[in-house]
Structure 1
Amino acid sequence: MDPNSPVRRLTVLYDADCPLCVHLRHWLLGQAQLVPLDLVPAGSAEARQRFPELDHTDTLREITVVGDGGQVYRATDAWIVCLWALVAHRPRAHWLATPAGRPFARATVLAAAKWREALKARPADGPGGCAEGRCEAPPVAD
């Protein structure tokens, strides 16, 4: 892999069992893209075939994005590169990658991870669960 090679396509590995992740997948697909995004369920047969060198258990724990040149972005860097690929959000991605913006990107990723874990811990068909494909936000802890 040449670290200086331009990124022409990105593959986003997302947790298909996570309502938040699936929502963000749909949001990404609805955005105008400067760099094409392929969205593939993390840990799936397709993901394992495309990227046999990745630890697929890790890709289920945090968002992972793989560039067509073999670049691998995880967690905060993955979110930033996803925004960088979008027409309307590239300027924001550039700012989030700076020392001034990075704490905001990191806080967003941590908040999303906490919300995601709260959703996964709830029964799918219980109060506030994800019955019939609808998920409510988990309650905010005091």
Structure 2
Amino acid sequence: MERSSDAARTREGREHRSSFDRFVEQAELRVSQAPFFFLCAGIVVVWLISLPWWTDLKAWQVAIHTIASVFTLLLVVLLENAGRRANEASQEKLNVIAEALAALLASPALDDPALRTAADRLREAVGLEERH
């Protein structure tokens, strides 16, 4: 019986992910695009323009530092979670590649069924397409 890799199961079972995992994926997608950058730049511009409405310069500076600190903390946690999951997926792919290479080196012939099984698992884990 052929065993499916963790990476392939994750790719096949995306609908079984937790709502937090889906949220992290969407957040990572959104914060890595230009609109989020322009939103952040807009917040800084609004902060700069708001100087005349503040009576205390120190409070004006604390406002932007507080907003920036809160956003930074939230984004670091979300992006670290996304990075950890990406790292785990990459590690699983590397494990399957190493297993396939080990099977190739141990194979007495190119038509060995174990080698063919390992190559199929490699294609499944990495998501390679059949090209020929």
From the two aligned structures, give the one with the greater strand fraction: 1
Give the TM-score normalised by the residue count of structure 1. 0.28
From the two aligned structures, give the one with the greater helix fraction: 2
